[in-house]
A and B are shown apart, each in its own frame.
Chain A
Amino acid sequence: MISKGRLQQSRRVFFLCMSAAIILTAVAAGSADKVPFPRPDSHKGNWEQHHGINAQLNINEAGQAGSTCLTCHNKSDCIACHTTRMPRDHNNFWRTRGHGLTAGVNRERCLACHRQDYCIRCHNETAPRSHTGAWRTRHCTWCHFASGIKPADSCGVCHKIAPHTSRPSAHPPIGPQTNCAVCHP
């Protein structure tokens, strides 16, 4: 019986050999010059940012061949670029906070590239900016500010069920002046 570790090692060796073989074949076989003529004038300047209308206008419909784009591009060019290049506004502020502000007003835009598992993965396995320092003692008013009953919307992005949602009905109202640590040290 082959051990799990040895099986994994065998797999690695197999994939290493396979990958080396594919690359060597690629170099040995030569490369196909896909585009036999210069780039069209329309592709000048900021084409990458504005190609959307032309792509939707000229890309072949399902089952139809011979569109303008496919004269030079492969079918998989779209996904190759869209999976490896980010829009210009996806900077560090976007990563930490801006994306949440935008998702609130236009979540449809996110669906162009992302699916829900992307959000869940990051929100489940990284801590937000607010969760630093004495967060445990500060989080009460952050979450319950103002209404005192309904938790703040941003908390619900990660915390679907708060451990203390079953607080007794006799709990005093929670507000900005409430000192939670008096009862909850």
Chain B
Amino acid sequence: MTAAAIMSFLLSAGTTVAAAIDQDPVKKTSNKPSSAGDVPSIALSGYVNTRYVFRTAETSSTGTIARDQDVLGDLRIDATTPRSDRYEFHFMGSIRKDLDGNRDLHTHHPLEDIGDTGSRHTTGYLYEAHLDINDLFTRVTQLRMGRQPGTRDEQVTFDGIAMDIRPASSMNLTLYGGAAVNFFEIYRSETRDTVAGAGLDLFPTTSTGISFDYAASRDKRNYLEMTDVQDKLLSLRIWQRFTPYLKGIVKYRYVNDEARDLNLRLLGSFPAAGTEIGASYLRQFNIQAEQSNALSPFVDVVGTSDPYQSYEVKLRQFIGKRYAFDLAYFKRDLIGSEQHGAFNREYSRSAAGFEVSDLLIPNLSLTLSGDQWRSPGRSFASGGADIGYAYGKKGNVMKINTGTFYSLYKYDYYLQFGERTNVRTYYVNMKVPVVKQVAVSLGYEYEDSIEQFQTFKAGIRYDF
């Protein structure tokens, strides 16, 4: 879909929303109707969200002020047919119009970002637009047609067809294929990418699952005149639920007939004790060179990825109904590599947080957080506080949040000249319902880092 088409889409949506605001709220349907006759033939939900963003950047040394204005919009529609449960339609799209950004490739502008790339000021992204048919044939539980996010091992958005088949009650087979969608590729000729695959899920017991996945992707390349990339990914995933709230996952993957990585995870929740835990181990066995866009560990940009292993532990503990604290630790070690490169490093991260609900008055919350990571030649530390207040009933809640963050980056591009940057951020955000299903959002942020940045956001959202 072209950007202009999406823009017109959202403009028409905005007009309709404005009209809806003036009218009485439409009678809502519910998932729990009082009788079968109340079940609507079509149920729609979703939202239209538009916002205006104004940013400035002031350079301390020269006092020069740069400005940038953007308009952004999102539209989401989920349509179902509750009576027959036969058809579903899902749509998710975003649009962005850059009102005055810098598009010169050769000069730095302190506010330019991904929205300022390319030759067009208006950019649209269509994430989902697929029609699903449930129980089309015996044992074909769902057929999905259109642009859709992959549901299997790798998240690849594609334009095509996917089919879920249930040959037996303890077995599921998914087949899919189509044109891979890479949203930010530069050249139109690079967009002729394809992806196809199959996934088989077996459930020997209700607490155990085994999944086999095969995916083949072909990535058309123009960047740096590289040749096209074709990859085959094989993965085996086993999950076991030990108790209703304790689950272990093992995943082993091969790429192009070579072992890629092993991932172990343990996830648990103990409601009686108010504890949530997560632990994981990841090991990449071999050097990963360039692969297709969906699989590449950013090799084109930061070079090959050296073998490593990482450990992560997370703990969230509730104390009573009002208090919670969080602890997290992550460690990454290189394997068999004597030299650290700029983008292959050992790294450790520690994080902690504390949260109080109903502080002094109901629905007032306070969150404190801290974060620190270290890596040879680089380190980072941050601390922040956030106060939030919510008022109102479901679907009509006013929220306000204000807070501050401080970050310190230390890094050495050259060992002789270590650099350090202090980043201080202050913000206030609020969401105010104006009528039922329509809310206005306002936000302001001040960031003092390399420049003094100010960001003002104003938006309106209609949920239907």
Contacts and interface: CB of A to CB of B under 8 A. Distances in A.
Contacts of B199: 62
A16 B128 CA distance: 18
Interface residues of B, number: 149
Contact of A107 (B10, B249, B302): B302
A103 B302 contact: yes
Contacts of B8: 12, 15-16, 19
Nearest to B445: A91
A145 B421 contact: no
Interface in B158-183: 164, 166, 171-172, 174, 182-183
Contact of B380 (A8, A101, A103, A126): A101
Given A15-B8, A22-B77, A88-B405, A63 B201 contact: yes
A54 interface: yes
A179 to B, nearest CB: 19
B441 interface: no
Interface in B273-293: 276-278, 282, 293
Contacts, number: 333
Nearest to A23: B16
Contact of B407 (A93, A96, A156): A93
A177 B413 CA distance: 18
A45 B367 contact: yes
Nearest to A123: B301
Residues of A contacting B: mostly = helix
Contact of B16 (A12, A24, A107, A127): A24
A124 B184 CA distance: 11
Contacts of A167: none
B203 A64 contact: yes
Nearest to B8: A16
Contact of B343 (A107, A111, A161): A107
A106 interface: yes
Interface residues of A, number: 91
A84 B74 contact: yes
15 contacts: A11-B2, A15-B5, A30-B26, A46-B386, A52-B278, A57-B245, A74-B78, A76-B149, A92-B110, A96-B450, A104-B344, A105-B378, A106-B349, A117-B293, A119-B300
Interface of B: 1-2, 4-6, 8-10, 12-13, 16, 19-20, 26-32, 40, 42-46, 48, 57, 74, 76-80, 82, 90-92, 94, 104-114, 116-118, 125, 127-128, 149, 151-152, 155, 164, 166, 171-172, 174, 182-186, 199, 201, 203, 209, 211, 223-224, 239, 245, 247, 249, 265, 267-269, 276-278, 282, 293-294, 296-303, 305, 310, 314, 316, 321, 324, 326, 330, 332, 341-345, 347, 349, 353, 355, 357, 365, 367, 373, 375, 378, 380, 382, 384, 386, 394, 405, 407, 409, 411, 413-416, 421, 423, 425, 437, 445, 447, 449-451, 453, 455, 463-464
8 tightest A-B contacts by CB?
Answer: A63-B172, A153-B342, A19-B9, A15-B5, A32-B43, A125-B117, A105-B347, A121-B184
